[in-house]
Amino acid sequence: MKVLIIEDEGPAAQHLMRLLQRYDSSIEVLATLRSVAESIQWFRSNDPPDLVFMDIQLADALSFKIIEEVEIQVPIIFTTAYDQYALRAFKVNSIDYLLKPIDLDDLKKAFEKLQLLASQPGLTGISPQQIATLWKMLQQPFKNRFVVKIGDHLRWVPVEEIQCFFSRDKLTYLVNSEGRSYPTEYSLTDIEGLVNPTDFFRMNRQYIVRADAISEVVTYSNSRLKVHLKKGDKEGIVVSRERVADFKEWLDQ
């Protein structure tokens, strides 16, 4: 397999090359390119590779500009340090991605998906419509407020006044800074894409919590953590085991 790497960070490119060799020593890296302009020139002057690894944020622009300028008919695996909101756009469009720092297990899963797509003709390319949708989702601003219904009245709650969102009995609620709960029309999955992931984190299947609303974090059973909020919280919210590492990283940003 002949692979092209588009990555403007030298250490990241070298790391990916080492992982590719560990995965399959027969893989040939044709080139490592550092910019949109260099990549466009390469595609116009060379035969296409079998696979492209493409970082999203390059030194001169977002790498989507490469796809706008040249027709790429081979699979692309994006490598990205983008936030969870952006990653949802990739999932919607069935475009694979690897979240930095990349590890060998993630790389193996990406190749397994590649093999699956290769067995279904027409599914490995990226259409202009997919790119247009992805651009739109990436550029969409996060919500500043949520509208809730109280009796016959509508009230808007600024995101700065929201402690958390939670689901219960097939309904989703927001909790304001006073600890009061109001039903919303969105699911938790919807809300993940509507709020800034720098400020909000999905603790488990039931809760999304705002960083400023956390009063303390304590250790809990089975290597889990429990989060307590500043208002209206008695029992605490447990961070699911598989989310603990991401939660600690989120707190430390």
pLDDT-derived band of residue 201, with 50, 70 and 90 as boundaries? Answer: very high
The secondary structure of residue 44, as a DSSP letter, is: H
Q: Which residue has the tokens 């190749």?
A: 111
Smallest Cα–Cα separation from 40: which of 69, 2, 64, 13? Answer: 69
pLDDT digits (tens, 9 = 90+) for 45-57: 999 999 999 888 7
Q: Give the number of other CB atoms < 10 A from CB of residue 197.
A: 20
| pLDDT of 73 | 80
DSSP H or E stretch at residue 215: strand 214-219
Q: How far apart are CA 78 and CA 7, in angstroms?
A: 10
Structural domain boundaries in the chain = 2-139, 145-251
More confidently predicted of 201 and 131: 201
Task: Give residue-wise pLDDT tens across range 204-215.
Answer: 999 999 999 999
Q: State the amino acid at position 98 in one-letter form.
A: L
- Between 73 and 224, residue with greater pLDDT: 224
pLDDT of residue 93: 39
H helices of the chain, in order, are 10-23, 36-45, 64-69, 84-92, 104-118, 128-139, 188-194, 244-251
Task: Report how far residue 23's alpha carbon sits from residue 19's, in angstroms, rounded to the nearest whole number.
Answer: 6
> In which band, very low, low, confident or very high, does the pLDDT at 121 lie, cut at 50, 70 and 90?
low
CATH no., domain 145-251: 2.40.50.40
Cα 32 to Cα 21: distance, rounded to the nearest angstrom: 15
- The CATH homologous superfamily for domain 2-139 is Response regulator (3.40.50.2300)
Query: Nearest 5°: phi and psi at 29?
Result: -90, 115
Per-residue tokens: 18: 């080492």
The reported pTM is 0.51
